[in-house]
Structure 1
Amino acid sequence: MILLAKDHTMPTPSTLLLWYMVLAVLASLVYVSTSDLKWANFLSFILPAGDDKFKALFQKMMVIAFPLLVGWFVYSGTVPGTASPVELRIQHPTLLQEFEKLENPFANADEATKRKCIEEGKHLYQQNCRPCHGSKADGNGPFANAFRLRPINFTDPGTIATVVENFAFWRIKEGGPGLPAVSTPWDSAMPAWKDVLTDTQIWKIIMGEYVTAGVQSRQREEMEH
C-alpha cells in the first residue's frame, strides 16, 4: 500500500511469503551469532534443558514439530493433485448498454496531443497496472502468479485487439465487481478503478496500454441503414 500509494492492500504471491520466512530465519541465525554471549544463550535454549521440565517439554515439542513441518512442506509440494473440471469461461462479456456509445475524447485530437496522452497513459499504466499486467502488458507482472487465473496477455492479438476502446474503458472502470451475473463465475480479480482514476486518466491508460502491447483496438463497425 505504501510503495504503490494505494488505499487498499495488494495480493501477495506465495513465493514472496516463502522467501520472507527463509530470510527471517537466516537473519535470526546471523543475529544470534554476532557475539559469543548471544550464541551461548541460543545454544542453551536449544540444547537439553537439564532439570527444567518446562524447557525440556518445549524442546521435545520443537524436535517433533520441525521435521513434521518440513515433511508437510515437501509432501504438499510433490504430491500429485487433482484439478477440477475446466469450466466454461467467456473471455469478453457483452458490453453494457450504458458504455456502448462512449468514445475516446482524444480520438480526434491532433498528433501532438495524442502523443502526449499516450505518454501520460504509459506512465499511468506502469504506476497502476504493471503489478498485475506487467511492464510489457504481457500478463507477467510481479503479482501475476498470485492469481488463480493469470492476468491476460495483452500482446496476444486475440485479447484487447479484438475489442473496441469503450469495452476496455468499461472493464477498467468497473473491474471484476462490475461484470454481469450472466455466465458467472468470471474469476476476475480486476479491481474497479472508478474510485481511483478519473475517466480522462482511464482513456489515457487505454491509449498507452495498446501502444505498450503493440496492438490496435478493434474499430467500430458502421451501422447499416
Structure 2
Amino acid sequence: MSTILLFILGTCLGSFYCLAAERIPRGESILFPTSHCSHCFQKLRFFEMVPLLSITFQRFQCRYCSKKIPFIYLLSELAGGMICVLCFFEGVYAAPFHSFLLLSMGGLLSLTDIFYLIVEPKLLLFLTFILFIWHLCFSLPLYYFTGLIIFILLTILKRLFNQAIGGGDILLLSCWGLLLGMNVILFIVFIASSSALIYALVYPLFYHKKIKQIPFVPFLFWGLLLHIILTNLKLS
C-alpha cells in the first residue's frame, strides 16, 4: 500500500479518534448525530470534514459561529497519518497491527485526557481486552506479575502523595505493564516524566501563566511512540 494512501487513511482515523474521545466520556453515540460543531451544533458538510485541509483553510474556526477549533484536532489527524505510515510502511499484516492497536489506544486515551483530564475507563478496558486477546491468539507474552507490581507500587505512591499520579494513569500503566513488560514501562515512564517536566518548565515562559494540571497520558503516549520507533529501527 502506498505511503500517501496510508497517510490519508490515518488522518481520517485521527479525525475519528477526536470524535470518539469527545463523545464516549459523555455517554454519546459515535455514530449519531453526524459530525457537527460542538458550539453551535451546525451539521458539517463533506468539504468541512476533509482531514488537515478543512481545518487549515477555515483558519481553525467554525464557518457558522466563528468559534475557535482546538489545534489538537489538527495534531490528532496528523498523528493518525504518521502512525499508519509507521506501522504499515512495509505491509499490512499481523505484526504491525499490534503496534497500531497500542498506539491507537495511547492516542485515544491521550485525547480524553486532554479534553476532560480523565483516562476514559470504557476505552481503556475495551482496548486492553482486544490487545489481551491478540496476545493469546498470536502467542505473544503476557507479563502478569509486572502488571500487578506496577499497580501495587503506583497505588502505594498515590496513597503517600495523592497528587503524584492519577488513578487512570495507574490503570493504564498497569495494563501496558501486562502487555509490554517492566523494561518497556520503565522506558516509557522515563521519557514521559522527562517530557512532562520540560513542558512544565517551558510553558510559563511562553504563556506567562502557571499550569494548574498537566494531562500525563499524552506524555506516556510519546514514550510509547518513541519505544515503537526505536524497536522498528532495530529490526530494520
TM-score by length of 1: 0.24
Query: Whose helix fraction is larger, Structure 1's or Structure 2's?
Result: 2
* Structure exhibiting the larger radius of gyration computed from Cα positions: 1
